[in-house]
Structure 1
Amino acid sequence: MTGTATVRLSLEEVHALCLDTLRAAGLGEAHAQAIARSITRAEADECRSHGLYRLIGYVDSVRSGKAERHALPEFTPAAPAVLRVEAKRGFAPLAVETGVPALIAAARRSGIAALAIHDCYHFSALWADIEPVVEAGLVAWCFTIGQCCVAPSGGTTALLGTNPIAFGWPGPQRRPFIFDFATSASARGEVELKRRAGEPIPEGWAVGPDGAPTTDPAAALAGALLPFGGHKGFALSLMVELIAGPLIGDLTSRQAKAVENGDSGPPLGGELFIAIDPAVFGIDDLPARLGAARELFTLAKAQPGVRLPAERRYAARARSRVEGVEVPAVLHAELLALRG
């Protein structure tokens, strides 16, 4: 947002702004604390599409009565290595914090484990959801549906969610290899940020309500986003719909849209984690196998112009701890006004 007035906040001030805003909206303390942690992590890593901007949707969903304000997630083991958290139509961050420690323990005990978060409103970044799992030395995947705003490859009408996928591989010094991306050409939040900034979106991201390609973010939001990579992104998006929806007993993004109330908050749905302990495939050669992975990363980075996923975020995280973060002044004023 070059040329746009900004306000610099420390991470402590970001966290306090989140808490004050969510408390003023009437959200229960446990949920407010979990969301504040989630948003602060996103801002620290310069993940703006899941940072302070998301407070607006959280508050709208609280005030509209869509999300439960005080219901606490309930942990339920479905099988020795299959876990479930009933979010009870609350927000996902607290449900994730409730289930992830048990997922780590189950994966270490059984070698592989799965965790389903059921009936939640998910608005956070998946990399933040799986990072504690990967920092514990496990390999992990995570999937969730998104707002129903993506057309299938070759189509022009929204049918799918943005349906992100995250994968993590453990690394040294608490810097794991993690990627997290929507199966649409762009996350919907990125398009919304472009609209707020008055900037166009790249060609190939979306079609307008008339089905024609568009670079206008407002038209894209009124029309449909497109899958990345054509039929390949479409296939991956369908996979996410199936395993984060019907497989775990949750809604598809289309079904979630049918029960929406029109506020700017997150859709109702589920989230699936899968975690594997690398040691389960043979303890004796574990150091060699992990070393081979590190060699692969080293060789990739040795090529000019190559940057591994998550490296940008780690650099931003180190910088933000010292310098704080820049927030558009318009957004900052909007958030202050939310507190009444």
Structure 2
Amino acid sequence: MESTNGTAGTTNTRAEQECYHHTTLVDLPDELVLNVASFLDKESQLLLSLSCKQLHSLLNTFVDLAIHDRATKVRFLQRLQLDHPEYLTCRSCGFLYLWRRMQTSQYDCPRASQHQHADTLLSYRRLVRAGDTDYTFLSRNIVDLILQAYEHGPTNGLPLSFFNSSGKDRHGISRTNEARLIDGQLILVSRLELEGREGMAAMARFFDMELCLHYRFNPGKDNMFRAVAKAVTDVEGSKKRKPQILLRPFKCYYCETDHRLQVDKDAEKQITIVLNVWRNYGRRHSNMPSNEQHFHRYPVFKLDAKSVSKRDVRAVFESASQ
């Protein structure tokens, strides 16, 4: 009797568990399910249709699940890849690929050579250098992998330390790169140091490479180099023991990038020119155009002067150490 009761109890428990875990959505009338689905965006409707055979049949019969634009396809694949962290969605072509296999090509899309020219201009890569041979191509894919790891765990992407590097190249330029995540926003700071007046010549050659892509589209762009030259002259002629001149921050009107130059002279009268660049790549989703336009070679959206003047990417970056 005890054995029979025990078996019956086990059977009832399993039945209760199955009932408890059973999806109540499929028990609703088809009309209600379709009504619920009508409030979902296209990518969510697609994911719902993949959850079970019953919903797949129902939604495919009564709902248009065809994807008519690449943006929707990319959003759908980005949600789908959360259950498959070994994959990454290319935003340029909507291709889902095994990103770890692409390490030798800086995790770039395997179909990159087939991308349209217009797409390439919207996914421009920037070279982040430390020394002559230590460099990284900062792309939208790498930013996605770092933010994905932050949101969903280390197996889903790359560590934040991927960007951290330092070194000195054959031109005498010392570089330091450091990345931080503040409130879900990825911020990268790059610092360049050049010593001596001869550093002016090196800066003239490599200056543009270190600034944001849209430097030449901004007002006042022609004054920056002249201001540095004047600061070097002023520091050389200063009678102070360790003079320092901080130039006004140069802020991009198209992306979240702030630049600042300073000129120092130490006790041995050695002049050092320092360029700091802070870039805010934002979050993985719901970014402002100024975050997205980091990768746009020819930006369209321009920030108003008031918003730019109030922005301080450096302060946000340094808030993580407080």
With normalisation by structure 2, the TM-score equals 0.23
With normalisation by structure 1, the TM-score equals 0.22
Q: Which has the higher contact order (CA 8 A, sep 6+)?
A: 1
State which structure, 1 or 2, has the greater radius of gyration over its C-alpha atoms: 2
